[in-house]
């Protein structure tokens, strides 16, 4: 079955969707609507059909999917209007600005019987899937801490992302990806506690970075950190187990795992530092550790839309469940609450 998708908002990310859809069978772009004339002109220049208005787009009977790729505060209204017009809706992340708004969107999906999902594309990130592989392999022994970071040094991009009313800030922008991944590390395990701090280095109106400690019921702590004033980046992932440590440097295939061989080290030779000595922090003897390649994962982001089409055709369940999206939204709210109160927040969900 062929599906036709129309885009509301044709900025940077919509362009990415457009290019992706060119490589997907049975899916085509019917056209776009953007409030900015320059973006409409740009789309026309690419030979893309431009609707006269959002209403014109929603009235096209050949369209069965509407992608909403506007600033974050606009998602809710367009998603609801799309479903009321009989379309299935795909919203860019973050789905909206708060749990109450998401509840309204879900109520509209219930009422109209239309499918509505969120483009949580970073579930397909190969670095994240590799961490899942590392956990499944078990070579690190019992994992007690995982650190997930993205670091840039240019502050927040100079547009609506700097303004609170549009849903700006890094918790909603990058946090929504990393927190979604963090919750998927331990499916079915309760998150008990959240402690977070925000940064305002380049922007006073919204957070330009944050650090959140997530305490899971199984005792594992996951640190999630987004920084935009980091001129030296820390690794994308750092996974600590009782028998080894894994590190992934960035979004590419640069990383390693170092595990204990089980060979007894005997007496540790202390390392002498300028102002003292230490056995605890002395490097390990080479035969007591081994370095291994990581179990790198492959993925195909086209599977996001293939799943959307399969759900619409009644052949599959959605890969992105709205309960999961709602949990991430509550977690982002807990992060803001923790940062404001300077307290650990009990999450229990």
Whichever of 42 and 144 has its CB closer to ligand NAD, that residue is 42
Q: Which of 324, 283, 39, 79 is nearest to 186 (CA)?
A: 324
Of the pair 22, 41, the CB lying nearest ligand NAD is at: 41
Q: Per DSSP, what are the bridge partners of residue 245?
A: 240, 258
The yes or no reply on residue 208 touching ligand NAD (CB under 6 A) is no
> DSSP assignment, residue 50?
B
- Our finding on whether 325 is near ligand NAD (CB under 6 A) is no
To ligand NAD, the closest distance from the beta carbon of 168 in angstroms equals 10
91's tokens: 């919203």
Q: C-beta of 81: minimal distance to ligand NAD in Å?
A: 10
**Strand blocks (E) in 49-142:** 65-68, 88-91, 116-118
Residues in CB range of 266: below 8 A, 6 or more apart: none
Minimum separation from the CB atom of position 306 to ligand NAD (A): 17
Cβ 212 to ligand NAD, closest distance in Å? 19
Q: Where does this chain touch ligand NAD (CB under 6 A) — which range of 63-71, 196-204, 233-241, 250-258?
A: 63-71
Distances (CA, A) of 320 to 115, 237, 295: 11, 23, 24
The reply to whether 117 sits near ligand NAD by the rule CB under 6 A is no
Task: List the one residue from 6, 8, 247, 332 that touches ligand NAD (CB under 6 A).
Answer: 8
**Is residue 35 near ligand NAD by the rule CB under 6 A?**
yes
**Among 151, 222, 125, 144, which Cα is nearest to 183's?**
222
Non-local (6+) Cβ contacts of 194 within 8 A are: 212, 213, 214, 215, 331, 334, 335, 338, 344, 345, 347
Q: Which of residues 148-207 bind ligand NAD (CB under 6 A)?
A: 159, 173
By beta-carbon proximity to ligand NAD, the closer residue of 105 and 260 is: 105
Selected binder of ligand NAD within 23, 36, 52, 285 (CB under 6 A): 36
Instruction: Give the separation between CA 349 and CA 15, rounded to whole angstroms.
Output: 36
Rank residues 15 and 295 by Cβ distance to ligand NAD and give the closer one.
15
Binding site for ligand NAD (CB under 6 A): 8-14, 33-36, 39, 54, 69-72, 74, 92-93, 119, 121, 159, 173
């Amino acid at each position: 079955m062929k599906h036709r998708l129309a885009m509301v908002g044709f900025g940077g990310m919509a362009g990415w969707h457009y290019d992706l859809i060119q490589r997907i069978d049975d899916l085509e772009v019917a056209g776009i609507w953007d409030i900015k004339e320059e973006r409409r002109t740009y789309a026309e220049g690419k030979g893309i059909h431009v609707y006269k208005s959002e209403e014109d787009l929603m009235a096209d009977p050949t369209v069965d999917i509407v992608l909403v790729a506007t600033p974050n505060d606009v998602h809710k209204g367009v998603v609801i209007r799309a479903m009321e017009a009989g379309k299935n809706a795909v919203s860019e992340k973050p789905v909206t600005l708060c749990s109450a708004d998401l509840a309204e969107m879900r109520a509209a999906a219930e009422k109209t019987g239309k499918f509505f999902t969120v483009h949580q594309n970073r579930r397909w990130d190969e670095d994240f899937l590799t961490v899942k592989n590392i956990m499944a392999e078990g070579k690190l022994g019992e994992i007690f801490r995982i650190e997930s970071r993205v670091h840039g040094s240019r502050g927040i991009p100079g547009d609506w992302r700097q303004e609170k009313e549009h849903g700006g800030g890094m918790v909603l922008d990058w946090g929504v990806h990393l927190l979604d991944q963090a919750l998927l590390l331990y499916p079915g395990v309760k998150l008990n506690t959240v402690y977070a701090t925000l940064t305002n280095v380049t922007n006073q109106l919204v957070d330009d970075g944050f650090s959140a400690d997530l305490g899971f019921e199984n005792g594992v702590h996951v640190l999630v950190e987004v920084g935009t004033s980091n001129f030296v980046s820390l690794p994308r992932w750092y996974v600590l187990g009782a028998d080894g440590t894994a590190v992934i440097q960035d979004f590419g295939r640069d990383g390693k795992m170092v595990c204990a061989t089980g060979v007894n080290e005997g007496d540790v030779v202390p390392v002498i530092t300028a102002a003292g000595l230490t056995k605890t922090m002395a490097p390990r003897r080479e035969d007591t550790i081994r370095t291994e390649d990581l179990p790198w994962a492959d993925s195909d982001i086209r599977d996001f839309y293939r799943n959307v089409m399969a759900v619409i055709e009644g052949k599959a369940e959605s890969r992105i469940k709205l309960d999961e999206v709602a949990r991430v939204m509550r977690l982002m709210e807990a992060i803001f609450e923790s940062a404001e109160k300077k307290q650990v927040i009990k999450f229990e969900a």
